[in-house]
Structure formats: C-alpha cells, structure tokens
Chain A
Amino acid sequence: MKPTETRLDKHLITEEPYYLSSGREIEIAISAHKNCLPLLLKGPTGCGKTRFMYYLAWKLQRPLITVSCHDDLSTSDLVGRFLIRSGEAVWTDGPLTLAVRAGAICYLDEIVEARKDTTVVIHPLADDRRELPVEKLGELLLAPPEFMISVSYNPGYQSVLKDLKPSTRQRFVAISFDYPSPQQEAEIVCKEAGVDKHLAASLVKLAGMTRSLKDSGLAEGASTRLLIQTGRLVLDGIDIHTACRAAIIDPLSDDPELLAALQEMVSSIF
C-alpha cells in the first residue's frame, strides 16, 4: 500500500452520518459532483454545514479532506512543501494536492478566514480547467472527475474585511444553509443528543429566542450544535438550568446584561 493510500484511508467515512435534509441540498450537491462543479456552503455557525459535507462524502463514497482555514494558512500549507528527512529534501503533498491526486473531496472550512492570496490557489481547480499547478515540482496535476472542491463560510459574523473575492465567489454552486425549522431542529436535537421530544422542543424554543436577539447586541443566536451539547449534559444528569447556563448562555456572550436576559429566558421556559 502506498503511503498516500494509507493517509487517505483515514479520510474515508464508513458509517452513515446522521443528516436531516431540509431542502434539495443533497440533490444539488450530487449533481454538482457529477458535473465537476465546485460547491460553496454558506450559513450561520453550527447549522450543519460540516455535517452535510460528511454526509455527502459518505453518500459519494469519496474520502473527505477538511482544511480549517486561518489567516496564517499559506499556499504551501495547501499544496505541499519540501521537508528534510535524513539530510534529503523530500516532497510532501499538502491536503489539496492529496485530494486532487486521489479524487477525494477537499473541504475548505471557513474560507474567508484565509488570506485572499492563499485562496487564489484554488481558482484553476474551481473552474473548467480543473488543474492544480505544483510550481515547486514543476508539475501540473489534472483533477480526476471524482475530485470535488467545496468551501464554506459564515456570511453573518465575519467582518466586511473578510469577504470573499467576487472572482472566487463566481466559480461555485452555492447552497445556503440556515437553522432548520423548529420541528426539524427538535428532531435533530432529539436524535443527536438522545433527549426526549419535549425537552428538545423546549431547547429549540430557547434557541429561537436567542436568535431574535441579534439586533440587541448578540452576535449570533444559539446554534443547533449548542442545543445538542446541552441535551447531552442533561442526559448525563446535569440539571437543565445549569446545563443551559454552561452550554448555551455562557458560550454566547460576555455581556452581563445579555447574560441576565438569556438567563431569564431559560428560567421562563424550564
């Protein structure tokens, strides 16, 4: 077995991840894959973008290579670099090159966090050329039809300084994610956290209230992920008020007045 194959094995998703579809996003993504089109997922934190990618990778039976972008991410971090091993310079593929070679799905999470000059490297891969020039090797890799590039970002919370360049934007098929409908969200919380339906519905109600505080100074309302985490704490025997405080209220804000208001919501619901 080649080293590349061993590395890729870890990225193959063997068990079906839980994903509740709320529209035609699966259909669109599969069609995009079939037509060799790149995918752009946008939506608030914790609404299921990453889970969707896991589900898609499982559905397509392709390895999923995820890169969490940050502002120190360089082109070499994506494409690869020479490393010194026992006095010799050895080339090591970066996650993007690895994905192109293996026809995997490369998922760049929170792409706006990366600097604009870094994101430009995906341009030739994201249009009909579907090629990745590896300058240091003097190689031009052509992506196989199974390869897919997918990026995600949160349009609500990043600053205007961190917006996607139009030239990057206009290469993708975009799927917009939002929090699921209350019924669906309760179903997700129920299934993921293992709590009863009533508690799940109450947690979703609380999340709804926090989300409407966006204009009152709360950067973002409680995500589905936070609700699941709260559910898990409750299931472990922690009382609901403490669990909400620890897993919903405190992570959301540091502002004492907003915290107090959120606490009042919890005490009203539970």
Chain B
Amino acid sequence: MKLPLLTERFYKLVSPDIPNEWDVEEVLEPFIDKSDTFCKEIFTHIPVIWPVSHSLCYDFLRLLPKTLDHLSLEQIPHWIGIILDHYETHGLRAAQRFMQDDLTRYLSQLHGGGGLGFTSIEKRLLPYIRGVAGTELQLRKNRVSYTDSTTIFVPEELEFSSRRDINFLLYKFILTFQWGFITQGSFITTAPPDYSHTQCNNDVLWLRAFLDEFKEPQLARDIYHCLESIRVLVFLNQELPGLMRAAKQHIFPQLSASLNNHPLRPLQQVLLTENSEQDSVLKKILSKSSTQRYLNGQASTDDSLKLTADLFFTLQKSGTDYCPISPFPFQGALRLQAVENARKIQNQKLEENFVDLMAAYLHNHSLQEASNHTNENRQNGYKGGLKDTDISVILDSELTQAANQEQPSPIVICLDNAQMKMPPELQECAQNCFNEFGHFPTQFISSAAGKAGHAILENEVQETQTKESAAQKDTILYDEWDYRRQGYRKNWCTLHFKNLPPIHSPFVQNTLNKYRGLTIRLRRQFEMMRSNERFMKRQRDGDDIDLDALIESIADSHAGISSSDRLFIRLQRNERDIAVLFLVDQSNSTSGWVNNAIKESLLLMSEAMEVLGDRYGIYGFSGMRRSRCELFHIKHLDEPYDDKVKERITSIVPCEYTRMGPPIRHAISLLKDVDAKARLIITLSDGKPEDYDDYKGKYAIEDTRHALLEAKTADIHPFCITIDHQAKDYMQHMYGPANYIFIDNVRKLPLRMSEIYRILTS
C-alpha cells in the first residue's frame, strides 16, 4: 500500500487527534510493501492503543514487523492485552521494555511454559494461607521471600520450572514454610527465662539483639535460620504431609544440585534429605539427643538458641572469613529488622486500641460521676465538662504480677479510689498488652485518661466536621471494561466519595405544596402496595374452613356430583422485601429545568417511599476523567429520611460529566451484601454516558453495558429512567429490552417516576 493512503487511514483512526506527519510516516514506512488486508488487520489495533498512550502506539507499530516473525496475526490481540496491562500497572517504560525484551518469555508462556506471576494466583493462595494459619496474614510481592510475622513476601514471578503447576506448588510451599516460622515462634520477641543476661529495650526484637551479640552475627543468623528451618520442616511433615510429599517429589530434586561447599551445607542438606536418612546426616553435626529432639518434633526455639551458640563456636574455629549461605527459595531470608518493624506497628495498634477502649470506659465513668454530682456542681457554678485531671487512675501493683501467673486473675483498675472491674473487651486487650510487653506500660493508662478528659470537652460540631472531611478523603478504585480489548482496564477509575452541603431553602416546602394533591394520591397508592394480607379462599389446605366451599361441597355430594377438595381459607402474606438504590446523573447537561425536575421527583419519591417502607438509597454522580469520578451521598440505604436528606436533595447541582461505570459498580458493591428478595439500581439520567477523556461513544456505552451485566450477574435488577430524546438507539443495547423508560416531557418526571417505581415493584 502507498504511504499517503496509510497515513490517511491512520489519521482517520486517531481523529480528532492530529499527530505529527513525520512521526506517522516513520512508523508506517515498514508497512508500504504489505497487502491491503494485512494493513487493515493491523490498523484495527490502533484505536485500542492510541487512546491509552500515543507513544506506546508508535512503539507498537515500530516493533510490530519484528514481532510478526514470531507471532501470528491472531496472537497479536493477546499480546496487546499484555502490553496494556504492563502499561497500566507499571507505566510506559515497563510496557516498552516488555515489547522489546520480553518477547521470548512471552512466547514460552504462550506455549504453556515459563514463569508464573504471583498476581494470577494470589486470589487462590490468600484464602489458602489464611485458612491454614487461622489468622489474617497478608501477602506482598518482593524480590526475596521472607516474612515479618504479619505479612509474607514472595517473588513477583517464579521461573523455577518450565511447568506452571510446579511453579504454583513452589509458591504454595514458600507461603506455608514462612507461616511455619511464624507458628513455630521462631521470631523470639522477649528474652526466654535462661537468657535474661541478654537484655534489650522493648522496641528491639530480642532474637536480633541475641544474634547480634555474636562476633560474626551473619554466621549466627544463618545457623539459627537453618536450625529453625529443620524444625519447621519436621512440623510441616507432621501437619501437612500432602504438601510435603508433593514438594519432595517436584521441588527438592531440582534444589539438591544447587548446594555448594559451605560450612553450613550439611545442616542445609538435611532439609532435602529423605526422612529415613535425615537421622544419619544430622548426627554428623548435632549430638544424638539433639538429633532425636529435632527429628521427633520435640525441639523448641530454646534448642535452636543453644545449638546456635554451640555450632557457632565450632564453626568459627576454622578461622576463615565467613561467606553467607544462600538459603533455599522456600526458606526465604531471615529479616529480623522487618519483624521488628512489623512488631512496632502492631504494638502501636495495640496501644491505640487499648487507649481508645480505656478512654471510652473512663469517659463513660466520668459522665456517670458527673451526673451524680450535678447538683453539687451547679451550686459551685460548674458548667459541665471534665478536665483530664479530674480522672485519677491508679494502676494496681498486682497487675504486673498477674501477667506472669499461669491463670491470670481478672485485671482490676483503681479509679478515683474505687476498684473497678474492666469490661471483658478491655480485659482481653490489657491481657494482650501484658503478653506482648511482659509488663503493663503505665503510659497507656495516662494517655487513656488524657484522651477521656479531652473527649468530654470536644465539641460535637468539630467531631462531625472531622468525620466529614475524613469521609471526603475516601476513594475506591474500579476496573473499566474496554470492549476493544475484550478485557478490563485494572483499577482504571478512581471514585471519590463526596458529601453535598445541606442547603436550607424553601424548595422542599414549595415542592410539597405544589404537588400536594399528587403527594396524597401517591401516598395512597403506595400504601396499597404495603405488605398486604388477604384471605385466599378455596384452598386445599389452610388455617380455617371455607364455609361457602364446604356447604357447596356437601350440596354437591348430596346431589351426586363429585365434590371439590378445596375447602380451606388461607391467610396469604405478601411481604415486600425490596432494596433500591437511585443513581442520579449530576452532569452539566442536567442544568436548568431537568435538574429541578430531578430534585422534585426525588422528593416526591422519598415521601411516597416512606409510606411503603422499602429500603432505599440515593446517590448523585458526576466527575471528570477517570481519576476523578465523584459519587455524592444524598441518602444511604438504611439512613432515615429526615430534614438533612431533604436539604441534600435540594443541594443537587449539575456538575461535570457522566462516567456511568464506576457509580454503577459501586452501587453493585453496596447492594451485593444487602439481604432482600429484590434489589434494584434505578438510574436517572438525561443522556448517553460521556466523559472528558476518551470515555464516549461506543466505548462508554459498552463499559456501562458491562457494568449493568455485572449487576445482573449479582442478581441486581438495573433500570433506567431517561429523558434523552435519542435514547432509544442505545438504551436497549445497554439495559436490555423493557429495562428502561423514556420520558418525553421533563415536567412529567415527578409524577412518572413514582408511577414507574410502583409498576416496577408490584
């Protein structure tokens, strides 16, 4: 094909953008000698990449001729999908690198071989490890695997074997092994009874302090790590024999070759040896009794500490410079600093939790006291509120002893000279503090007392303001459907939660007056829809006898006609159990009459809904670009319909654009956990979904359609009320037939909306 023709086609595809002519010509030159069909096929990919990144699109075209030596035309869309994933997760550089350098790896993965990415299996392994551990462990990606006792870090990708299943097995084994360290208590926090000579302050992990005391700390660490690994291995042999069998079969044989001539090699070798031979290998290094203890699973961290010291002195005699051993992948690294940091964070949380609970407790206590002394205070001119100095807390000296007892006695606090028993939640928290610190830090009590004192003085208004500003900071990421790729753009849109400022205005009263007659009629209609009970006559069984039917039946049988067996009355109850979310389009195009009509309809609707008793929520949505989709809170699902809600309805104003995907996806997540027989999302819109960026036309319609399909999958019924004059073309495609309604006259909206809801739910 000729270059001008190619360039013309390119410009058409990227319109309205007008890129530099020389850039375009440069990348299109290699396609001059290609056939027309080939070029057409290649050009279908341009609209997929161009809107995401222009330079990525140029790079793609530049590298395509070379890539096509290895990939067929059918494989290109998949390859593009991966490129875009790289772009969206790691940026332009990563996507370019992938295109240039990682083709071979991509090809090997395509043919079923190659590495395994952790992201693809995380959702499977996270519940696995949490189930096994019984705690809420976190998983994170990192170059080296290790654990800090709350999170397990694993490599982003494993290329241990050419088989995917074996790479998966190794991931699973790494996680389980790291959990083994946690559950076996390898990371000793406080000094064991025999080691009280090694002291450290509370912030430092005792094990780190202990190992750092050695002349060659790295050697001591490696010895301890190996010994603990043996302990974990024996533990896993007992606990999870299935996993160990698989590991011995598929993982260990490939590892044995990687061992070098290291002084700790025999110790590490034990990990890979068959159970029957472990004894003889371990005996070469440890005493007979220690070997027995380790292999029988009786060894404890105390054994490992003692043997670390013994082995350290034996190995150190060799006198050569120590070179750290490289651990097996499943052993990971021993990162005590990370454990220490994680512990600090945990302790901080523990402290915060205790202080909060204690402060709440003291606060209540003070309020009670205050109410007891109100009269007295009044006489002294005291105007309520307590200072922190008013609360005196004395920590019982027996507290510290209680922690050391096997069965701790209930923790008691002395408050204003009276002994008070703590509530169970606080007791548990205090006990955790004892366990963690070995004693009770007194500053916790004083900060709790301080907080309680301040809490009373806090102004209610300030509190609400803080809450509101905190809520405003809340954001959530949602995927977006790209029909051109037939895949999701991961975490593509950021939905910001915003609060509408309540506005006091006569709008509410005016509307209610204006539609007074209609409101009464709607209320009556909605009242009739309330869970109704009615007697069903002529039933086969029921609560009572249907006398009419019985007399008829007896008469029939006397007359020789076969009589009916439907002789009962049954009380039929039709309970309404409906949860509905209204999503209101706040795009700029709704300004003027439309906005007013929407507000009026919402008011009338809410008035009528109150009679009905259905649970409903109202949210407005707007925003600009994918990074700023906004959701305005008007009424939460279980929030009562009060003046605040009315004021928020009044304050609905047209904002920016209509990106419909994120608010629908958020509504799904809100409704998904609601227990109701019928769940509805009703969208109130004035036109097509459209945003400032490339969210328009087919792309926007397809994303919205996909979000609505997600709703249907979650058993949520979507419905749309629209006032767009050209709505008919795309509404059926988006919502499906009979799931939308078109209102030609905006002024009729308030009346029609309630009618529609009535028809929809009865």
Q: Chain A residues in contact with chain B, CB under 8 A?
A: 74-76, 81-82, 84, 87, 89, 115, 136, 159-161, 205, 208-210, 212-213, 215-218, 257-258, 260-262, 264-270
Contacts and interface: CB of A to CB of B under 8 A. Distances in A.
A264 B246 CA distance: 12
Contacts of A265: 128, 131-132
B172 A257 contact: no
Contact of B243 (A208, A212, A262, A267): A267
A209 B132 contact: yes
A210 B131 contact: yes
A161 B675 contact: yes
Contacts of A161: 675
Contact of B130 (A75, A160, A212): A212
Nearest to A84: B567
18 contacts: A76-B542, A81-B544, A82-B544, A84-B565, A136-B544, A160-B675, A205-B239, A209-B131, A210-B131, A212-B130, A212-B133, A216-B127, A257-B123, A260-B124, A264-B124, A267-B243, A267-B246, A269-B239
A261 B134 contact: no
Given A161-B675, A264-B172, A216 B131 contact: yes
Nearest to A82: B545
Nearest to A266: B242
Contacts of A209: 131-132, 134
B126 interface: yes
Interface string B98-139: 000000000000000000000000011111101111111000
Q: Summarize A's interface: helix, strand, loop or mixed.
A: helix
Interface string B217-248: 00000000000000000000001111100100
B524 to A, nearest CB: 26
B241 A84 contact: no
Given A212-B133, A269-B240, A269-B241, A261 B127 contact: yes
B176 interface: yes
A212 B131 contact: yes
- Among A82, A161, A215, chain B packs the most CB atoms within 10 A around the CB of A82
A61 B172 CA distance: 53
Nearest to A260: B124
B554 interface: yes
A222 B132 CA distance: 14
A267 B553 CA distance: 65
Nearest to A81: B543
Given A212-B134, A260-B124, 14 more contacts: A74-B571, A84-B553, A87-B553, A115-B573, A208-B134, A212-B131, A213-B127, A257-B124, A257-B127, A261-B124, A261-B131, A265-B128, A265-B132, A269-B241
A121 to B, nearest CB: 12
B188 interface: no
A268 B243 contact: yes
Given A74-B571, A75-B543, A270-B241, A264 B125 contact: yes
A198 B598 CA distance: 67
A268 B133 contact: no
Contacts of A217: 127
Contact of B675 (A76, A159, A212, A269): A159
A233 B19 CA distance: 69
B550 interface: yes
Contact of B545 (A84, A257, A267): A84
A209 B543 CA distance: 47
B550 A84 contact: yes
B346 interface: no
A175 B387 CA distance: 45
Nearest to A77: B543
A215 B675 contact: no
Chain B interface residue bracket vs A: 35 or more
A136 B544 CA distance: 9
A210 B134 CA distance: 9
A76 B176 CA distance: 56
A87 B127 contact: no
A209 B183 CA distance: 14
Interface string B567-594: 1000101000000000000000000000
Contacts of A84: 545, 550, 553, 565, 567
Nearest to B673: A159
A80 to B, nearest CB: 11
B404 interface: no
B125 to A, nearest CB: 7
B300 interface: no
B242 A269 contact: yes
B240 A268 contact: yes
B543 A87 contact: no
Contacts of B243: 267-269
Nearest to A258: B127
A131 to B, nearest CB: 21
User: 8 closest pairs, A vs B, by CB?
Assistant: A261-B127, A268-B243, A212-B134, A209-B131, A261-B128, A159-B675, A268-B240, A260-B124
Contacts of B543: 74-76, 81
B198 interface: no
Nearest to B172: A264
Contacts of A257: 123-124, 127
- Among B172, B545, B571, chain A packs the most CB atoms within 10 A around the CB of B545
Contacts of A269: 239-243
B130 A216 contact: yes
A262 B132 CA distance: 10
Contacts of B130: 212-213, 215-216
Nearest to B121: A260
B199 interface: no
A210 B541 CA distance: 44
A212 B133 CA distance: 8
A230 B675 CA distance: 31
A1 to B, nearest CB: 27
B557 interface: yes
A226 B534 CA distance: 42
Contacts of B172: 264, 268
Nearest to B123: A257
B613 to A, nearest CB: 13
Contacts of B132: 209, 265, 268
Interface string B520-561: 000000000000000000000111110000100110010000
B472 to A, nearest CB: 28
A213 B131 CA distance: 5
Contacts of B571: 74
Contacts of A262: 127, 131
A218 B126 CA distance: 13
Contacts of A212: 130-131, 133-135
Nearest to B565: A84
Interface string B601-634: 0000000000000000000000000000000000
Contacts of B239: 205, 269
A112 to B, nearest CB: 13
Given A74-B571, A213-B131, A87 B554 contact: yes
Interface in B624-646: none
- Among B125, B240, B241, B541, chain A packs the most CB atoms within 10 A around the CB of B240
A209 B133 CA distance: 7
A76 B229 CA distance: 66
Contacts of A270: 241-242
B128 to A, nearest CB: 4
A160 B133 CA distance: 29
A244 to B, nearest CB: 11
Interface string B468-509: 000000000000000000000000000000000000000000
Nearest to A206: B131
A87 B242 contact: no
B238 to A, nearest CB: 10
Contacts of B541: 81
Nearest to B549: A84
A47 B125 CA distance: 28
A260 B129 CA distance: 12
B564 to A, nearest CB: 10
Contact of A89 (B124, B176, B545, B557): B545
